[in-house]
Amino acid sequence: MIKKNKHDNTHLTLEERQIIQTGIENGCNKVDIARTLAKDPSTIAKEIRNHRQLKPRNVFNYPFVCEHMKKCRKGCSEPCDKHEEPKCSRRDRSPGACNKCANIWCRFDKYYYYANIAEKEYRHTLLNSREGINLTEEERKEIANIIAPLLKQGQSVYQILTTHTKIKQSLKTIYNYIEMGVFKDFGIDNFSLKEQVNRKQFKDKYKRRKEPVNYNGRKYEDYLKFITENPSVPTVEMDTVMNNVSGPYVQTFIFENTGFMIGFLHTEKTSATMAKTLDTLQTTLGDERYKKLFSLILTDRGPEFEKHELFEINMETGEIRSNIFYCDPMQSSQKPHVECNHNYIRDIIPNGISLDKLTQEGLELIFSHINSTPRKSLNDKTPYEVFEFMYGDKIHPHLFNIQKIKRDEVVLKPYLLTRFYK
């Protein structure tokens, strides 16, 4: 029987937390650690559970794991009614963390306990607990049960709140609660919230090339003059996304007035292949609907867009179909809508992931989910909803094979494309 220290109810010190971390690394159970510190085992268990750090598994290689994977006859390619997170005796029972576990390459989510982080979190919580939170225990559980699974799907807190209006707390309040550890025991404290991700900034070396003379009359200053004289003509921004210089390449279009984005897969990065997309779109939409959407195109000075005549003129009829303008050299900020929306693509297909197995069908699935994501700039509406309202049945999103996804079913994580990467 463990003999409790008379000071067992006092707060743990940094030195005691370091002993807990050492015990975990040595594979000791909670009873052994408690005996060393003359504490109750429940004290040690709560300390580890409250301050361990979640390290999610690689969801691209292992979109999900299940306790029944080996026994399931259907084969696990997506969650089903019998889905159950696998259990680990070391992680889930004792000691309750994965520090220096021999099976470090397992496919499970991992938890690590670090004394310095635990101490810092404890001090932060102690400070905030004096102020208190305006939340009952039932409300806390209700909010956590709503936001936890949606955060795992890659949705932002803002996106969740626009859908679940019964959560009365403001966006800032929810963020404060997460930072305070209010939802820690639901595994929410260590999610990589999209709004707080620090993206690495890369300084690319650009090779200066001589500006083609045919940019005259199509520069950004000409574009500004054009939209001043033609304020009713909407702009569509055009760009290219790639994960390897050898391809494949994704040609993207975003309609500025709606935020609606579409994309097309290419194996070559030339003006001819990119302009061919407009040929297909004009055939699909018809001349009238095509001109409503693609009369005004703004893009960068990439070599795949430099032959402006291929984009402006229908080569079969000789008719001028679009006005194309180019941003100034290395000024991607002049087409901010398409650049910003590419972040959603990168959430699903991170840099370094090959696009070789991606199909046009998979690309359309990506844009279906992206276009079903509510935006603050659209007054909590989704680009799909705004595009549908703006153009009605005459130009329906289905013409681009874009489907409306229910808000709670939107996924902005790599596992969205699992079935396309078998």
Question: Which of the pair, 84 or 360, is modelled with greater confidence?
Answer: 360
Q: What is the per-residue pLDDT for 21?
A: 93
- Is the confidence at residue 63, as pLDDT, over 70? no
Question: Which CATH number belongs to the domain containing residue 408 in this structure?
Answer: 3.30.420.10
CA 415/CA 64 separation, integer angstroms? 8
pTM of the model: 0.57
The residue count of the chain comes to: 422
Rounded to the nearest 10 degrees, how much is the dihedral formed by the CA atoms of 256, 259, 260, 263? 80
Residues 182 and 265 in one domain: no
Q: What is the per-residue pLDDT for 186?
A: 78
Residues 409 and 262 in one domain: yes
In a domain, residue 376? The reply is: yes
Domain total in the chain: 3
Residues 218 and 82 in one domain: no
Share of residues in the chain with pLDDT > 70 (%): 85
Q: What is the per-residue pLDDT for 172?
A: 83
Domain boundary among 168, 196, 224: 196
Residues 260 and 327 in one domain: yes
Residues 380 and 240 in one domain: yes
pLDDT band at 62 (very low <50, low <70, confident <90, very high): low
pLDDT band at 124 (very low <50, low <70, confident <90, very high): low
Domain boundary among 196, 228, 250: 196
In a domain, residue 102? The reply is: yes
- Is the confidence at residue 328, as pLDDT, over 70? yes
pLDDT band at 76 (very low <50, low <70, confident <90, very high): low
Q: Which of 278, 257, 284, 285 is nearest to 321 (CA)?
A: 278
Question: Which of the pair, 80 or 9, is modelled with greater confidence?
Answer: 80
In a domain, residue 252? The reply is: yes
The secondary element (H helix, E strand) that includes residue 46 is helix 41-51
pLDDT in tens, 221-235: 999 999 999 999 999
Question: What is the mean predicted confidence (pLDDT) over 182-187?
Answer: 77
Highest mean pLDDT among 87-101, 204-218, 259-273: 259-273
How are strands ordered across the β-sheet holding 249-255?
A: 260-266, 249-255, 235-242, 296-299, 323-326
Question: Which of the pair, 296 or 319, is modelled with greater confidence?
Answer: 296
In a domain, residue 122? The reply is: no
pLDDT band at 123 (very low <50, low <70, confident <90, very high): confident
Q: Around Cβ 343, how many Cβ atoms within 10 Å?
A: 13
Residues 260 and 386 in one domain: yes
Residues 256 and 395 in one domain: yes
Residues 350 and 224 in one domain: yes
Q: Show the domain range for 281.
A: 213-420
In a domain, residue 205? The reply is: no
In a domain, residue 3? The reply is: no
The secondary element (H helix, E strand) that includes residue 124 is helix 115-131
Q: What is the per-residue pLDDT for 75?
A: 59
Residues 144 and 254 in one domain: no
In a domain, residue 268? The reply is: yes
Residues 257 and 304 in one domain: yes
Q: Around Cβ 416, how many Cβ atoms within 10 Å?
A: 22
Question: Which of the pair, 223 or 131, is modelled with greater confidence?
Answer: 223
Average of per-residue pLDDT values in the chain: 82
In a domain, residue 8? The reply is: no
Q: What is the per-residue pLDDT for 128?
A: 52
Residues 181 and 50 in one domain: no
The secondary element (H helix, E strand) that includes residue 179 is helix 171-180
Domain boundary among 117, 150, 172: 117
Q: What is the per-residue pLDDT for 61?
A: 59
Q: What is the per-residue pLDDT for 361?
A: 92
Residues 170 and 252 in one domain: no
pLDDT in tens, 13-42: 888 999 999 999 998 999 999 988 888 898
Are 362 and 416 spatial neighbours (Cβ–Cβ below 8 Å)?
no
Q: What is the per-residue pLDDT for 198?
A: 39
pLDDT band at 240 (very low <50, low <70, confident <90, very high): very high
